[in-house]
Amino acid sequence: MITINIFGSAASVDASAVPEDVWHRMEAVERRWRPRANGGEWRDHHIGLYRSNSNGEVVFPSGLIQRFVRELDRHNLKTRLRANDLPEHLELDHAFSNRLNATDQRLVSALRRHRNGLITCANDRSRIRTIGTICGAYPRARIFIAVATVEQQHEMFRRLDKELAEPVCSVRGGSWETSRRITVGTYRSLETISDHRDWQFVLFPSAETAISRRPIAARLRLLTPRVVGLVDAQAQFSESERLRLDALAGPVIATTAGVSVPTRVEVRFVDVPGHLQMQVRNPLTLKRRLYWQNDARNRCLSEIAKGIWEDVSFPHGRRQGLLRDFLPVTVLTEAAEHANQLRRFLPGWNLLTAEPHRRTKLDRVVSAGSLPARSIMTMSVAERLMHFDAGQIIVASGAEWLTNSGIFLSSNDIRSISITDFEDFFHPVAEEASRERHECYRRAGFQIESIDEVPTD
């Protein structure tokens, strides 16, 4: 009988009790291209997934336990598992967890049952939201987020700084210390953690890139932190890659790939009346004239927003197909300047921007985890929200972000969403931008409908 001792994120076994060929089968092979003067060649590099300690034991990641047991079964060797000195359970924020949608609650539940594992995600936005969910569910846990390159570190820091309602630390190099709860660093920084017992989670946002020699070696040093890897739901892995993913984090324990994807996204294009003639070379000035300070367009947009909120007919008698049914109505703008201009036409609507004097209201919305019933919001604020659960979206500007960000993966089980955009035929530049937005919606697979112009008198 071979005893496998489990402690935290690692396991150990008496080396002398295990046949030698079992350890050979627990090695992974990574193929690397080695350039030469005459072209180059592929070389196989063996990556050890275990290490020996001074007690004559072999230590390996707990994600490999299932594979290890199967290998011993092939030799007709019986095994038993013994849990030793497992770290205490983390304190869950039940108030935060109760606000999550059903899929995210299953994710949190899986993290309570499994110390390690992979989580499948649909896209980059889904990965960021998953990290945000883990950080919010365990508010006292120290979390290290490991990425491959310095460029990825900067991008991850920027996005988490927008997503999370608390400071994020970014560290570099081989020697560092921080008291911050959430830290972003490279695999090299992960190698030099002074005491892994100070951390409760180590997250790999792109586990596909963390299965080479350096991150695997750093992973073998982690004994107590929970190790979680995020992978693309559509990715296909070779047997060697699957073995290394098991060593990194273990099997798949949850998925966010199907998080509340609406069954229908309807886009209605409204023709804005009027005509502008002007020659402006400065792009910012042109944007102000066409959109932000265009009173005629802002008035038309505001009337539509009021009609949607009040659940009444459009001014020319055409009704919205999707009633608000208590779903939030959001006017989405590119900049705070435009949001403030629209507020003149929409008194009583919540104005959510990142301006310093509006941070108190914004912080309340972020911590609440859901949108106000009706709001005017900038894109930068929408990116910070854990759940952008608008049922009706009026696009004042910034539709490119709307179609590329994957925000519909974070809607709280809303089964259909209605977007109102504008056919800006009043100026050649605005008309071209309108056609580009139309094409973005078409590529995203949204259902598109055009509506006659809306009078503004």
What residue ranges define each of the domains in the chain, with the CATH number in brackets?
2-83 (3.30.780), 94-255 (3.40.50.300), 264-451 (3.40.50.300)
Helices marked H in 114-191 — which ranges? 124-137, 150-163, 187-191
Q: How far apart are CA 96 and CA 108, in angstroms?
A: 11
Instruction: Please write the tens of the pLDDT for every residue from 146-176.
Output: 999 998 999 999 889 888 878 899 987 666 7
Instruction: Please write the tens of the pLDDT for every residue from 282-329.
Output: 888 888 888 999 998 999 899 999 988 875 334 344 434 333 344 688
Burial annotation 364-379 (CB, 10 A radius, 16+ → b, else e):
ebbeebebbebbbbbb
What pLDDT score was predicted for residue 197? Answer: 77
A 10 A CB-CB count for 169 gives 15
Question: Within the chain, which residues score under 50 in pLDDT?
Answer: 259-261, 263, 312-326, 386, 409-415, 453-457
Sign of CA dihedral 406, 436, 415, 236: negative
Q: How far apart are CA 71 and CA 6, in angstroms?
A: 18
What pLDDT score was predicted for residue 399? Answer: 60
Is-contact 114 89, C-beta < 8 A? no
Q: How far apart are CA 179 and CA 169, in angstroms?
A: 9
Q: How far apart are CA 419 and CA 176, in angstroms?
A: 47
Residue type for position 279: Q
Q: How far apart are CA 263 and CA 261, in angstroms?
A: 6
What pLDDT score was predicted for residue 315? Answer: 39
Is-contact 453 315, C-beta < 8 A? no
What pLDDT score was predicted for residue 118? Answer: 94
What pLDDT score was predicted for residue 184? Answer: 94
For residue 76, give the H/E element and its range: none
